[in-house]
Structure 1
Amino acid sequence: MGKKLMLPRANGSFEVYQPGTTAIFDLPTEKFQSRIAFSAAHVVCDPISTVDPIGKPQIDWDDTLSYRRYLWSLGLSVAEAMDTAQRGMGLSWKNAKELIKRSSAEARSVGGRIACGAGTDHLPLNRNYSLDEIINAYEQQCSFIEEQGSQIILMASRALAANAHGPEDYERVYDQILRSVSQPVILHWLGDMFDPTLRGYWGHQEIEEAMQVCLNIIWANKEKVDGIKISLLDADREREMRKRLPEGVKMYTGDDFNYPALIGGDDHGFSHALLGIFDAIAPAAAAALTALDHGDLKLYDSILERTVHLSRHIFQAPTYSYKTGIVFMAYLNGHQGHFRMIGGAESARSITHLSELFVLADQAGLLVNPDLAAERMKLVLTLSGLE
């Protein structure tokens, strides 16, 4: 059992809590057979760099790459330089290029699978761009990722969202990019709860109309589309779109609220995984997917259902602040020696939110060393003025 702590709760009270419900997960000894499972991975900042931590954040490469090796050791694939890595929210394209280069080399050295995000985020904000400029920006990033030997995840573009006049502009941009890549990519539809600047993506405010535009693009380029990750936090919409995909094009769930049922599947199919929450619940995810491979749906459900309350807490509104909870989990479990983030994003959640996260992580059996986690939680409480 871990040390007792006095934790602030959401109702304004304080509660004595002692962690110690550590679960023993049956971790995989071979690659998953029934599902592809990507974990979007966070980055670890350098806490003692003298460079401006807001404008020019520095990355601790040793701990950042070590965490990717940890994910690969559990059988998970790595989705690199995505929003979980604070892409476009602290992580610049310059930083992302170095991250992609280093992680791709690391993947080759350990035999791990990797896919990396390509976007247009090196275009300065608050400027108008032509479609040709947006296409060129996408092509630059896609070319760099292919040079590293990585699969491409074609991320949603803020520049395109700001400058497109309708669905036909999205179709033109995506058609040209998909014709130019050498290998099938994973498309990424990121909902505006994750990034408000992407509201109305695909040229429509209504989800059904936007989905049809996206499906039209996929059907027209199905040889170049490995799959699509949708992050709309709407299980019914995901199931609907999944049924309408061309044969051979995969659905990768990005639904951090409903992932157990979507990955587990139903009579109409299942989703593979490309999830930010897998960064925080990696041992549970690996054990559950192993159970699924063995046909043990009861064990699969029991493992992942214990993590859902934690995930919904981490991804609660404002959803884009979920990265704070992801990094806090890595800190509690000893994967990094500090709770600092690029851009100062460790301040994006309250001490009460972090205290509830601590309790939910313990109840899910995800505090690997309860004593260490309690010591680190106490440090954060003290720093917040709570003795």
Structure 2
Amino acid sequence: MSHTIQLPDADGSLNTHRMSEPIPRLTESTPPESRVAYAAAHVVGDPCGTNAPGSPAEVDWESTMAFRRHLWSHGLGVAEAMDTAQRGMGLDWAATRELIHRSAAEAAEVGGRVAAGVGTDHLPADVTDPDEITAGYAEQLEVTQQAGARVILMASRQLAAGARDAADYHKVYDRLLSEVQHPAILHWLGPAFDPALEGYWGSTDIAAATETLLEILHAHAHRIEGVKVSLLDLEHEIQLRSRLPEGVRLYTGDDFNYPRLIKGEGGSHSDALLGVFAAIAPAASAALRALDNGDETTFDEVLVPTVPLARHLFSTPTYYYKTGIAFLSWLSGHQPGFTMVGGLQSGRSIPHLAETFRLADRAGLFPDPELAATRMRQLLDVAGVPR
């Protein structure tokens, strides 16, 4: 094995990177006990499919399901058909519906936990009537519940655009939550992840939006398992979880500050529903098992070194983080190629992907560094980067 690789920097210069040794992790499929943890999983594009921007999604189902089995093998739940799977960015409803059914069936077979996103992305963008939006949600809710997956009520672009005030959010969520068969997870995805969701919960003022969310949570606490918050705002999340109804979890979606939020403080902590956990599953599992044993030192030693990678993956424009998740899956040998639906493999530059490689390697995340380096060289060759 060549223990070095030439990688481009942002200015185009080439620098030598010395490969790190992998950090071996135990494989334990039993879920951690101290925290509930979901990894939001991506989908693998069929390399022989069209998968051009605007084309129907063509999925490599074998590789996509194999990646979910990888996550379950480390005791993590799978958050299915979320924004990580390119909802609203290439994954159409026909493919989403099949994804939910396939993933729920695989979960039942291996004893894994799966919760799936229910949204309104199959509706025309100009639908603004709350009743039509509710009906759209209900259609996806029926599919998801029939498949046997738990429900994540995703934020709706149509509702963000069409709601006149907080009352419209109450109207939609009151009706939806009356139809869930098991307690659901609500979803607050900030505009960094999807600019079309600016002003969700009826206000661009975060304090006002939070009050509307809390009103809905308290009104339906017995039908809500938790709320997934992806605002990348550490202090807001800490304050919000202190105001949740008893028994309602806060699932952090903060891919910048997750170690502190999951570890918690003052007897309060966040659980996890994170896209970055798909990229660092073995490390995430090891850190959570350290918490099971009350070992916060090991938790920090394992998880904190992954933060520079996470911050890079989710750097602006944040919504292209999916490209980095799929890229790392390919480098780690979890899929045969770096192909995404909608052509999203082009969502990040070669220098950005090179830095992703560096940071993942420094954190000891590649199970086979030689394979990762070989595939990185192949990408650089195709891109025309000189050696």
User: Normalising TM by the smaller chain, what interval?
Assistant: over 0.9
| Equivalent residues of 1:230, 1:255 under 8 A apart | yes
Structure 1 residue aligned with 2:145: 146
Structure 2 residue aligned with 1:123: 123
Amino acid at match of 1:82: M
What SS class does the counterpart of residue 335 from structure 1 fall into?
A: coil
- Distance in 1, Cα, partners of 2:130 & 2:209: 19
- Distance in 2, Cα, partners of 1:96 & 1:90: 10
Structure 1 residue aligned with 2:99: 99
Structure 1 residue aligned with 2:31: 31
2:90 counterpart of 1:79: no
Structure 2 residue aligned with 1:246: 245
2:43 counterpart of 1:46: no
Structure 1 residue aligned with 2:288: 289
Q: 1:321 to 1:40 in 2, by over 3 A?
A: same
* Structure 2 segments unaligned to the other structure (5+ residues): none
- Distance in 1, Cα, partners of 2:50 & 2:68: 26
- Distance in 2, Cα, partners of 1:349 & 1:21: 26
Give the CA deviation at 1:9: 1.2
| Equivalent residues of 2:107, 2:113 under 8 A apart | yes
- Distance in 2, Cα, partners of 1:267 & 1:83: 32
Q: 1:148 to 1:128 in 2, by over 3 A?
A: closer
Give the CA deviation at 1:132: 0.7
Give the CA deviation at 1:49: 2.2
Q: TM-score, normalised by structure 1?
A: 0.97
Identity %: 52
Structure 2 residue aligned with 1:265: 264
Matches within 5 A, 1:1-387: 2-28=2-28, 30-49=30-49, 54-125=54-125, 127-387=126-386
What SS class does the counterpart of residue 178 from structure 2 fall into?
A: helix
- Distance in 2, Cα, partners of 1:112 & 1:306: 27
- Distance in 1, Cα, partners of 2:261 & 2:188: 17
| Equivalent residues of 2:53, 2:90 under 8 A apart | no
Please give the root-mean-square deviation of Cα atoms over the aligned residues, in Å.
1.3
- Distance in 1, Cα, partners of 2:215 & 2:237: 16
| Equivalent residues of 2:128, 2:163 under 8 A apart | no
- Distance in 1, Cα, partners of 2:294 & 2:51: 51
- Distance in 2, Cα, partners of 1:29 & 1:149: 20
The C-alpha deviation readout for 1:229-253, integer Å capped at 9, x for no partner, is 0000111111111000000000100
Amino acid at match of 2:373: A
- Distance in 2, Cα, partners of 1:19 & 1:48: 32
Amino acid at match of 1:186: I
- Distance in 2, Cα, partners of 1:196 & 1:163: 15
The C-alpha deviation readout for 1:106-135, integer Å capped at 9, x for no partner, is 00000001000000111012x243111011
Q: 1:80 to 1:319 in 2, by over 3 A?
A: same
- Distance in 2, Cα, partners of 1:50 & 1:235: 40
| Equivalent residues of 1:53, 1:343 under 8 A apart | yes
- Distance in 2, Cα, partners of 1:211 & 1:14: 47
Amino acid at match of 1:284: A
- Distance in 1, Cα, partners of 2:356 & 2:234: 24
Q: 1:300 to 1:58 in 2, by over 3 A?
A: same
Q: 1:146 to 1:2 in 2, by over 3 A?
A: farther
Tell me the matched-pair count: 386
Q: 1:150 to 1:243 in 2, by over 3 A?
A: same
Give the CA deviation at 1:53: 6.5
Amino acid at match of 2:321: Y
What SS class does the counterpart of residue 180 from structure 1 fall into?
A: coil
Give the CA deviation at 1:182: 1.8
- Distance in 2, Cα, partners of 1:362 & 1:208: 40
- Distance in 2, Cα, partners of 1:301 & 1:89: 34
| Equivalent residues of 2:65, 2:106 under 8 A apart | yes
- Distance in 2, Cα, partners of 1:334 & 1:111: 24
* Structure 1 segments unaligned to the other structure (5+ residues): none
Of 277-286 and 23-32, more deviation after overlay is shown by 23-32
| Equivalent residues of 2:50, 2:58 under 8 A apart | no
| Equivalent residues of 1:27, 1:290 under 8 A apart | no
Give the CA deviation at 1:21: 2.8
Of 21-30 and 351-360, more deviation after overlay is shown by 21-30
Amino acid at match of 1:306: P
| Equivalent residues of 2:51, 2:343 under 8 A apart | no
| Equivalent residues of 1:2, 1:370 under 8 A apart | no
Amino acid at match of 1:172: K
- Distance in 2, Cα, partners of 1:29 & 1:226: 22
The C-alpha deviation readout for 1:263-286, integer Å capped at 9, x for no partner, is 001014001100000000011001
| Equivalent residues of 1:54, 1:344 under 8 A apart | no
